[in-house]
Amino acid sequence: MAQELNFKQELTGCFGQPVAENPTQAMVEAAYRHHGLDWRYLTIEVAPDDLADAVRGARAMGFAGFNCTIPHKVAVIEHLDGLGESASLMGAVNCVVRRGGQLIGENTDGKGFVESLRTLTDPQGKSVVIFGAGGAARAISVEVALAGATRITIVNRSIDRGTELVELLRDKVHVAADFVSWAGNYSVPEGTDVVINATSIGLFPDVDARVALDVDTLKAGMVVADVIPNPPKTQLVRDATERGCKVIDGLGMLVNQGVIGIRYWTGVDPDPAVMRNALEEVFGE
């Protein structure tokens, strides 16, 4: 059966997620159908001990690539043949692409975010505040810096994680970066262009959770982004919209990392609107 699929169709896989109702699968396959691509995106759960065999299997079956999620984003690296620039800087891979017989690890989370951001503003020369210092914040901050942001402020609860990210940004990406220990409501400094929630605050089911922030310091015209895809209309998205900010919700980043993955795997530039509609159906928006 696997061989039959291998000969008839190109395959991409998504490692490490539960098999039922996977939003990424719904989104990617909607794009494949829309563009008449005879491809499949499979959701396959892989236990950590089976990762090496799973990657070997993907090679053997001629997968065009795959996404990987927690807990495989770092562990997958030793099984690959090389890394793209930002994946190498971050030390994390969420998208693997077969190029000339080699499996290359990329990180499309931050690139997807920057594609969303570019629809509202050019990151070049911007001053950016990011809440969080986990995987999403690392991906976004590195990519925003590579896109030319001139100052990045990391606001995080855990001091160790926050300072580690700031050191990475200063030492490896060579951008001006500061750490702020997050205590009480954070006031966004004057002159900030972009504010990003890259924490898990507001993710379903804790939908009423608020990012600790003085919302009066969000000014009209600022770009405010939230990475939370479910629900897309987080409290931060609502607060920022009310204050006249330009807002990016978590679906924007999710759609755009998918756009980049499909482009890498198939060479086709998929329609983001089709992909967003598929996600909205899954999330009941």
Longest Cα separation, the chain? 60
Q: Is the Cα dihedral 259, 262, 267, 268 positive or negative?
A: negative
Q: Which is nearer to ligand NDP, 149 or 260 (CB)?
A: 260
Joined tokens for residue 207: 């939908």
Least distance (Å) between residue 239 CB and ligand NDP? 16
Q: Which is nearer to ligand NDP, 97 or 140 (CB)?
A: 140
Say how many residues make up the chain. 285
Least distance (Å) between residue 165 CB and ligand NDP? 9
Helix 272-283, helix 23-34: angle, nearest 10 = 140
* Contact positions vs ligand NDP (CB under 6 A): 109, 132-137, 156-158, 161, 199-201, 203, 227-229, 250, 253-254, 257
Q: Which is nearer to ligand NDP, 10 or 155 (CB)?
A: 155
Does residue 111 have an active-site annotation? no
User: Which of the residues 8, 73, 126, 172 is marked catalytic?
Assistant: 73
Q: Which is nearer to ligand NDP, 10 or 199 (CB)?
A: 199
Least distance (Å) between residue 91 CB and ligand NDP? 13
Residue 163 backbone zone (phi > 0: left; psi -120 to 50: alpha; other: beta): alpha
Least distance (Å) between residue 27 CB and ligand NDP? 10
CB 283 within 8 A of CB 231: yes
Q: Which residue sits closest to ligand NDP, CB atoms considered? A: 134
Q: Which is nearer to ligand NDP, 42 or 74 (CB)?
A: 74
Active site residues: 73
